[in-house]
Amino acid sequence: NVQSSFTRIAFDLYWMYSASAFGLLGYKNIYDYAAKEHGIARGTCSDFIHIVERFANRDEHGNILEEIRLVGRYGCTVDGIFC
């Protein structure tokens, strides 16, 4: 579904950015990687990375886990789904 696709892209971008792995694939920066591999603009790339940094669940050591827990405007919490 669309929601899980966005989540996968967000974590991919976060990991590529935090590990500077885009350089290993020949890209100059994360934005070039995002444009070529995912077809998204610079601002969207930044937004995705910041969403992971802000909302991703973390383990007891503060490491980011590959899941996001969001609270919707109606107070319900559903993994990866706004409500």
pLDDT single digits (tens) 42-70: 999 999 999 888 887 777 887 777 766 55
User: Residues 18, 33: contact at Cβ < 8 Å?
Assistant: no
Any idea of the CA torsion for 23, 44, 73, 58, to the nearest 10 degrees?
0
The answer to pTM > 0.85 is: no
Q: 39 pLDDT exceeds 80?
A: yes
Cβ-based neighbours of 51, under 8 Å, separated by 6 or more: 10, 68
Question: How does residue 75 score in pLDDT terms, banded at 50, 70 and 90?
Answer: very low
